[in-house]
Every structure is written in C-alpha cells, then in structure tokens.
Amino acid sequence: MKRLLLAVIPLLLACSDSTGPAAGVSVARIVLTATDSTLAVTDTSLLDVVAYDAAGNVVVPSDGSATIDHATFTVQPPASLQISGVRAIARAAGSPQPTASVEGKSSTLIFTVDGVAHGVNITADETWHTADNPHFVRHGIHIGGTAPVTLTLEAGVQVRFGVGAGLAFDGAAATLNAIGTSTAPIALTADSAAVSQANPIKGFWSGVLLSSSQSQLQYVVLSDCARDTYLVNNYFGACLVLADLFNQDPRPVLQNVTIKDFGITGLLAQDGAGLGAASGNLMITGGGPFYFGGGGLPIFINANEVGTIPATTTLSGNLDNRIRVGTQVGLGDSVVRNTQTWPNLGVPYFIPNSVIVGGPNVPVLTLSSGVQLQFDRFTGMSVGTAAPGGLVAAGTASAPVLFTSPDPDALKYADSWNGVVFGPAVVAGSKLDYAVVEVGGGFNATFPWNGEVVVQVNGLDSLITNSTIRRSGYCGILRAWTPAATNTDYTGASLLNSFAQNATGDQCGP
C-alpha cells in the first residue's frame, strides 16, 4: 500500500462563486473523502467534498462547479498537511486531520503519515535518516550533478522500492555512503504488503547502480531486486550493478553485504568495474527463479575483474549457482589484462566467451586449487598468444583445477569446447599442475589440427605436470612447434601426467 507522511500548511480556498450550493437548497451535511489516507511524507492524495440535503440528495452548486471549489480547509496539527486545490500533500509524520467546511457544515478525515517518499532526482548531497523510516522509492531515481554528489544512508535505514524502481548513481563522482552495523543493518527491499521473508517476490524492484570508487556499502541487505529492466542503458537485471560509465574502472567497497531472494542476477560488474580491495564477506543467496522462470545467477563479471571478488564470498541456494565470466551482451572475447587470482568459492566459473590472458602488463592468471572452469561450445583459453601472459593452474591431488564443459557428467562429450592454448609469448612459470583438462579439443582456427592442450613453445618441461588429459575430441596435447633435436615429451613418466580416451592420440606433433 502507498504510504505517506503528511504535514499541513493550512490553506483557505476562497470560494470562486459566492452563491455556493444551489440557491434555496439547504446543505444538511458534507462528506470529505481522499483517494488514499495512508501516506508517506511528500506523498499526495486527491480530495473530494460532496454536499447533501436533508433528504440525502446530492447538492450541486448553482454554477455546476465541484463542491470542493467552495470549501475552506483547516488542518490539525498545522503544517502537517498541505492542501493545494484538490490535493493533500503530506509534510510531516503523524495523524494529520484536515477539515473541510461548506455553508457552515464540516467534515474531517484522519490521515496516517509514516516514512518519507523520495520522488525526484538527487543533485546535491542528501542524507536519509533512520528516524524517518521507512523511506519509499516508487520509480527510478538518478543521483549526480555537475559537482560530486553523495547520498548517505544512516545505519538502520529501511528503503522500500516500488515495482521496477531503483537508484542509479550515474553522475560523475555520484557516491553512495551506506554504512550500517551488525546490529543496525541497512535494508533495501520491496514495498509490498505481499512480501515477507517467507514469501519473497524475486525481481520486484530493479536494483542499485554504482559508478564510482568512492561508494561504500557496509552491513547492507538487498532483497527482492534484480528485475528485467535497465537501470542505465546496457546495465541490465541485477540487484547491484557496478558500471564503468566514465572510464575510471570503479572499485566500490562492499563489506558484509548480503544480496538475497533476487530475480535475474545478484551482482553485475561490467566494462572495467570491479570490487574494491577492502571488500569482504559478500553473501549472495536465494536467487531465482524469476517470475517468468530462469535467472538466479549470483555474479556476472568481466574476466579482468574476477580477481576483485573477495575470497570470503559465499554463494548458495541460487538457481544458477555459478559465476558467469564475460561481457553482458555475450559477444566477443574476455581479456585478462592484470595479474590476479581467481578464488575457489565452491561454485564453477562459467565461460561463455573465450578468455585471453595477455597484454602490455604481462598478466599472470592464477587459478586456486579446486577451481572449476566450464567452457561453452566454441570457447577456450589462450595464454600468451598475441601478447605476453601466463597461467598458473596449481591444484592439489585432492583438489585439482578442472577445465571442462558445462554439461552434466553423464552428457559430456569429446570436442565440447576448444581447449587451452599456450602461445609463443607465454611467460616463465606458467603451468598446469594437478589439473584435469577434459572433453575439449574442439575446432581451433589457429592450427591445422586440434588439441585439448596446445603448446607452441618447445622446452617447457614443467608446463604440464601431475595432470590428467582426457576425452579430447582430437589430440590430448598438441605440440605445435617446429621439430627439434629434442622435443618435450609430456607423456614421460617423470612428469606424472595421465591420459585417457583422446580420440587421435594422447600427444601429437613433433
């Protein structure tokens, strides 16, 4: 139900027609009504006044105008409610009582005003206070201006969002400062009597978009968000969107943030946006299904920003409990440009676009033990192919790094994805150690034939050790270099690799 706070500046509406109701007809009573008597501060309700004679018949003014045009109003307490024409505007919390008077007859209503409704874009610093709870946002509000703008949410603030509503910090240096505590968290949730902890409405409201590194969220809970709408063009369907709108690679800090009971995506980070280094204790849970089915993806993030996900992140109970790595539109390759580690969060990384590791920063991608990468059809990973780069996939005997397809084990087939390529610019120290590479070896236009693991540089004996290469659609390991007097043999017993069910051989090439 809409809720408003009502404050009243009493205004007397002068009668536009001195004759009032129909001449010669006595007004026995009047009735004041409102379209909504439960408001939040700044909310508006439409008023109406109807006059009746002693027989109960409606009395119409002689000029045919509305009876309310001839009424005068007072409000108790004063300044709690503003009467403007036929509108009552809430100005303060409480129980304001407007009284309408016509021809000596009066009628009084009792309003309930609780909370504050926010309805305009924010272009100057503003603070939402706990004392004014709850705060209502009924449509999209944009934050930003020609100078830096900060919206501050006090600890314990409760914000309730209408259908499709959200907050977009899309101005230059627009900042959200939401610092709750463990005992007074900040709650961003749905404005609906039908929503409860036991009965969430996933995707009820849109979400929050951040575009500056200055933003901080601590002890914040977002729920019932991630609708199929755009907070800003190209940023779609997530409770919390990290967006690089100004080519600044923003890194807002998220500490003890919970995203739960969401629709499409929990956290979306695209185009260079990631999480600040001080981020930690992020929980994303209960996602999906959305109202039309599907959804429930906890994190969707570009490859170069995966390493900004804190290792203390917990992902559980989501319909698609994977981390999607790539671009939102699903086109093009994802490039790892900076050295980083992808943590093992207990869920797979889904790779819908080929990942390239390399660039002028000479990035090295480290995959923690137990990490699982699921490569979509026609995708793979290229390391040091066009520019210097490295890969360290160092698992353990009990927690190997797994390169595989997203299919269930019973449905996996050889040639499901392209494979891993170590190119001519692969950096020293790169390795697959206690790794499992399976069901790859699909089409790779770089080479005249295919391999699940392709190595272009001879002499890298320690590149592949203690690893399993299996079920390739073509070669297990393709040695794609010019024959030399001595060629590294990855099937050698000293390297402790194992091979199984590779269609055209465990090892091909010179």
Question: Domain holding 97: CATH number?
Answer: 2.60.40.1080
Which of 287, 314, 331 terminates a domain? The answer is 331
Domain C-terminal end among 114, 133, 153? 114
Please give the radius of gyration of the chain, using alpha carbons only, rounded to the nearest integer: 32
Please check whether residue 13 lies inside any domain of the structure: no
CB–CB of 461/495 below 8 Å?
A: yes
Task: Say what the pLDDT of residue 462 is.
Answer: 96
Residue 138 falls within a domain, yes or no? yes
Q: Which of 301, 331, 361 lies at the terminal end of a domain, its last residue? A: 331
Residues 158 and 192 in one domain: yes
Strands (E) across 173-305 are located at: 174-179, 186-190, 207-210, 216-223, 230-232, 235-236, 238-243, 253-260, 265-270, 283-285, 297-301
pLDDT on residue 194: 78
The answer to the question of residue 1 being in a domain is no
**Tens-place pLDDT, residues 362-410:** 999 999 999 999 999 989 999 999 999 999 999 999 999 999 999 998 8
Angle, CA 365 vertex, CA 209 and CA 276 arms, to 5°: 30
Distance CA 81, CA 93 (A): 9
Task: Centre a 10 Å sphere on the Cβ of residue 123 and count the other Cβ atoms it contains.
Answer: 15
Q: Are residues 103 and 123 in the same domain?
A: no
* Low pLDDT (below 70) residues in the chain: 1-25, 329-333, 443-449
Residues 53 and 195 in one domain: no
In a domain, 12, yes or no: no
Residue 396 sits in the same domain as residue 500: yes
pTM of the model: 0.89
Whether residue 327 is contained in a domain is answered as yes
Is residue 19 included in any domain, yes or no? no
The answer as to whether 5 is a domain residue is: no
**Eight-state DSSP code of residue 92:** S
Domain count, the chain: 3
User: Do 73 and 146 belong to one domain?
Assistant: no
The pLDDT value recorded for residue 234 is 82
Same domain? For 205 and 126 the reply is yes
Q: Are residues 237 and 254 in the same domain?
A: yes
Domain encompassing residue 203: 119-331
Q: Note whether 323 and 364 are same-domain residues.
A: no
pLDDT of residue 421: 95
On whether both 443 and 484 belong to a single domain, the answer is yes
According to the model, what pLDDT value does residue 22 have?
53
pLDDT at position 203 is 94
155 and 233 inside one domain: yes
Does any domain span residue 8? no
My answer on whether 90 and 195 are in the same domain is no
For residues 385 and 299, state if they share a domain. no
Residue 446 host element (H or E): none
